[in-house]
Chain A
Amino acid sequence: MRCHDVDSSLVAYLYDELSEEQKGQVEAHIGACPECAAKVGSFQGTRRSLAAMECVEPSAIADQRIIIRAREAAANTSRPGLLRWLFVPSTAGLVMTGFAVVVGFVLFLRTPLSEGPAGGPGTMTAGADRSTMPVDVPEAKIVMAEAERAAMEESVPPTAAMPAPALRMASRKSAYDPARALFERGKEIPSRENPFDAIDAFMHAIEADPQGRYAPSSLYEIAKIYNNLGDYKCSAETLEMLRRDYPDYQGMPEVYAMHSEICRKLGKYDEADESFKDLVVEFPDHDQLIDGVFVDYSGNR
């Protein structure tokens, strides 16, 4: 092999893409040719320098987003064509809501209204006494609708679970909220046994309504699951995303406290202190901040 041949094989040699025979020929030549040896050596040195090149990985959240999309696509592939769309949560929600509206409207049209002086049959006049109305489905629906509205308008603490019966009634009778339904499903999955199924559900909840109230709560739940799994880096990244994207989140004190704890586990003591300082400065009167220490709901310090 001549110098010219070694030169033209240089890149392939550096990246180990020569056959054993060719590689042997190159090495035999550079063993005998100082100039070619120096040239190969300098390129090998450059490649060694590239060891300092930044090597990054996507976050677990990014992985989950992509995997969830793939699962949805695969599910759509395996279901019969005409029924396929029924299994997409947002589409199913629209269908159910539309169906409920139609049924409600039909029932409303069929309901006899009380007669009044100013109108004919079927006219509801101002001041009509509701007690004179026939007590049938529409009356019950009005009472239930008011109860549903009250239930939905209650503020939901970040980690408190609603009582199951009220939860089911609210979700069945009110307009379908896919984000809420998915969040609740996530809470129902035992996360210690099935952590990734729970994370899936919470991710779906976020994607169903990224600006809704269940998105930050879902992120918080995901962070807790990663913490329990011992994946502190993912947990910290999730909490940082929550802080950045949902600065008005009700449960921010708990977020700061958890972030501080996880940074300590990661050995990032400066960041841990920063988070705790943010907690103390922004929420000095928080009822879990006792004598400068954050006490969680279990009484742990």
Chain B
Amino acid sequence: MNTGGATPGSDEELMLDFKAGDAAAFETLYMKHRAGVFNFIYQFLREDADTSEEHLQEVFLKVIHSAPRYRPKAKFTTWLYQIARNHCIDMARKRRFRRTTSLDRPGDGQDESLLERRFGDPSPSPERRAYLLEARASITSAVDDLPSEQREVFLMREVSGIPFQEIADIVGCPLNTVKSRMRYALERIQKHLSDAGIGGNEVMEHAMS
């Protein structure tokens, strides 16, 4: 039952259905957006997968607990990523006050199954695998070095696939500011990769051959 005037079949309608007690509507929403949100959290905070899953759970628990008060004033993804972004900012802020930080960097090319899954090759040659792992490590380092306002824009666009206008609504900035931040982020990553000798065409050749 949808009383909010949302477009039929839309995320907003699903959320309203969940508000009315339809658990299956939430499951549809969750399965649609979980990967994007999870990757955003994972790449933004750079913690291990288990901790990232806890953050994912906290974000969606906030969605669940906020359901009784939900009104589709903005797009569902705008609201969802605002919750995710605010959560990540809080976590990053708390982490700054920790005395020690873990030296373990997650995903430094250790998860071969994910790499293999992404490129659809169950058994890449050792040379290809080594190159791709090195490329991944360089990209990880480059993204980590981005200022947080560029990193969040970059991750939302590149990893989560959120359009620029929506990112502008999420972070509360003008559209041109968001595009500028994305431009600067790409330039920094480009320089980092170039310094590491990683080229886009080579990555694709190793991935696809």
CB of B98 to closest CB in A, whole Å: 23
Complex-state Cα separation, A274 to B149, whole angstroms: 44
Q: What are the 3 closest A-B residue pairs judged by CB atoms, nearest first?
A: A45-B200, A48-B200, A74-B23
Confirm or deny: B60 has a beta carbon within 8 angstroms of a beta carbon on chain A: yes
| Contact A56-B30, Cβ < 8 Å, known A49-B198, A71-B23 | no
Q: What does the 1/0 interface line of A42-76 toward B look like (CB < 8 Å)?
A: 11111111111111111100110111011101110
Q: Name the residue on A nearest B58 (C-beta).
A: A66
Stretch at the interface among B3-11, B74-82, B85-93, B178-186: B178-186
- Residue in contact with A55 in the complex, picked from B67, B114, B179, CB distance below 8 Å: B114
Whether A11 is near chain B, meaning CB under 8 Å from some CB there, is yes
A52 x B132 contact (CB < 8 A): yes
B1-52: which residues lie under 8 A (CB-CB) from chain A?
18-23, 26-27, 30-31, 34-35, 38-39, 42-43, 49, 52
List of B residues within 8 angstroms of A10 by Cβ = 183
Identify A66's interface contact among B56, B143, B190, B203, CB under 8 A: B56
Measured CA separation A57–B111 after assembly (Å): 12
Is the CB–CB distance between B193 and A65 below 8 Å? no
For A54, A59, A66, A75, which residue has the most chain B Cβ atoms within 10 angstroms? A54
Q: Are B21 and A77 in contact (CB under 8 A)?
A: yes
Complex contact A17–B183 (CB within 8 A): no
Do B164 and A62 have beta carbons less than 8 Å apart? no
Name the contact of A48 in the complex, choosing from B49, B107, B204 (C-beta under 8 A): B204
Does A24 sit within 8 A of B, measured CB to CB?
A: no
Asked whether any CB of chain A lies closer than 8 Å to the CB of B118, the reply is yes
**Residues of chain A with a CB closer than 8 A to B52's CB:** 56, 58
Across the interface, do A55 and B118 meet the contact criterion of CB distance under 8 Å? yes
Tell whether, in the assembled complex, residue A65 and residue B57 are in contact, meaning their CB atoms are under 8 Å apart: yes
Instruction: Name A41's closest neighbour in chain B (CB-CB).
Output: B200
B118:A70 contact, CB within 8 angstroms: no
Contact of B139 with A52 in the complex, beta carbons under 8 Å:
yes
Chain B interface, DSSP helix/strand/loop, else mixed: helix
Return the contact of B136 from the options A53, A62, A66 (Cβ within 8 A). A53
The reply to whether the CB of A166 lies closer than 8 angstroms to some CB of chain B is no
Q: How many contacts between A and B, using CB within 8 angstroms?
A: 140
Tell me whether A53 and B23 are in contact in the complex, defined as CB-CB below 8 angstroms, given that A11-B183, A66-B56 are known contacts. no
Tell whether A56 pairs with B42 under 8 Å between CB atoms, given A11-B182, A51-B203, A74-B22: yes
B201 at the interface (CB under 8 A from A): yes
How far in angstroms is the closest Cβ of chain A from B145? 15
Find residues 176-209 in chain B having any chain A CB closer than 8 Å to their own CB.
Answer: 179, 182-183, 186, 189-190, 193, 198-201, 203-204, 207
B199–A55 CB distance below 8 A: no
Interface contact A63-B182, CB-CB below 8 Å: no
- Whether A74 pairs with B207 at a CB distance below 8 angstroms is no
Q: Which of B34, B64, B139 contacts A49 (CB 8 A)?
A: B139
**Chain A residues within 8 Å of B203, by CB:** 48-49, 51-52
| Residue A12 is within 8 A (CB to CB) of chain B in the complex | yes
State A264–B114 Cα separation when bound (angstroms).
Answer: 18
Contact of A56 among B60, B107, B186 (CB under 8 A): B107
Contact A51 B204 (CB under 8 A): yes
The chain B residue sitting closest to A55, CB to CB, is: B118
A52–B132 Cα distance when bound, in Å, is: 6
Q: Which of A50, A56, A62, A70 contacts B18 (CB 8 A)?
A: A70
Contacting pair A69 B200 (CB below 8 A):
no
Q: How far is the CB of B133 from chain A (nearest CB, A)?
A: 8
Interchain CA distance A45-B189 in the complex, whole Å: 11
Contacts of A62 in B (CB 8 A): 53, 56-57
A15 interface hit (Cβ, 8 Å): yes
Question: Is the beta-carbon distance between B60 and A66 smaller than 8 angstroms?
Answer: yes
Smallest CB separation, B129 vs chain A (Å): 11
Q: A49-B135, A54-B114, A54-B140 are in contact. Are A15 and B157 (CB under 8 A)?
A: yes
Does B171 sit within 8 A of A, measured CB to CB?
A: no
A74, B30: Cβ atoms closer than 8 Å? no
